[in-house]
Chain A
Amino acid sequence: MEGLEKQKEHELLTVISEVEVPYYWSIGRYAGEFLIELRDHKRLVGVRCPKCRKVYTPPRKVCGPCFTEMDEMVEIGHTGTLVAYSVVNYKFIDPNTGKNRPIPYIYGYIKLDGADNTFSHIIDYSDVEKLEVGARVKAVFEEKRVGLPWDIKYFKVVD
């Protein structure tokens, strides 16, 4: 059709809009307990499955493989072992903020002492040269904590 053929790229019709999409989530009793312990006492907790005896952190109601309800909360350590990691180095928009998340940063999975699964978090970027799978790391807490996972500021490699 003549109209379509005449349309050149710089004549493309464009509409720009910005949408803010706020959400509220309930995170449940188990997550609530973890965050309150973290905020008020700088304590990290996990939950133990009565069947397989595995300890999970953050704690949750059901052990998936056993499909069993858990309720035994146990304290776990501030230190752990780095099981896997990467150094994020490309620009992307954080859906939480609508803006670019600051990069580079280190993203890792930490097996905290006393837990059987791993906990995903940030490693302090100044430790980038010390990074290796198997490194021992320790949680560094914010002075002022509000009851969110980033009350742990990051994990640092301990020598």
Chain B
Amino acid sequence: MIELDRVSKAFANEETGQLVRALHDVSLAVEENEFVCLLGPSGCGKSTLLNLVAGFERPTAGRVLFEGRPVQAAGPERGVVFQDPTLFPWLTVAQNIDFGLRNLGLGAAERRRIAERFVSLVGLADFARARPHQLSGGMKQRVQLARVLALDPRALLMDEPFGAVDAQTRDRLQDQLLDIWESHRTTVLFVTHNVEEAVYLADRVAVLAPAPDGITADVPIAIPRPRDRYSEETREATMALMGVLADLPCCVLPSRRVGETPSREPAITKPG
């Protein structure tokens, strides 16, 4: 469903003009309805890889395919949940969800029905008319999830979506995500640097090392669902993955702190 075929991506450093290699010769395939976690240290290019699949960036070399066709641009069939909350602050929760529905050209009544359904799905029906700045970090991420789910995406691309919320909230968000994934059955590509998170969520964990190494391990997580965060087999899988991570070289780029906008990792430039 998602296929990266020997993909490389380099960015020009804005000050020095020097090319920085973010991804080198990376290949990865994600099957339909599979939940794949992309695990790796900060700055190893995980977000870059996700941005390529999302269509925000173009690969310098190689091909990125979605359902067999090369990715040209971003679109609602690949719903992205960003690490930083990117809800539009000038719209209410319901209007934020409505934003994408409008672009689909649906009628007002139908849009309202869908928005209501997905606001309720993430448990925020009481906050439909609140503005983003009135919500907590966890609630904002739930709205982000709702607004892409409402567009009925073929795949969910999630970029450390729970990286900036407290541990307790994160556990609850993970459970909520798994519930939704099981009832809606979509493909998920989930970026994280948190090993426990990867083991708890994923069917399969792809470990991404800093360029030029690429994907160094592809580990199926065979633990039956629903999973227990604290069971023996969960712990074993976690330890095994941590061993894989420990063997990786430290990343070359400065690590990104939680909540910082990814201004260094992928150099962001406005298109056009």
A binds B: no
Point out residues on A near B: beta carbons under 8 Å. Answer: none
Point out residues on B near A: beta carbons under 8 Å. Answer: none
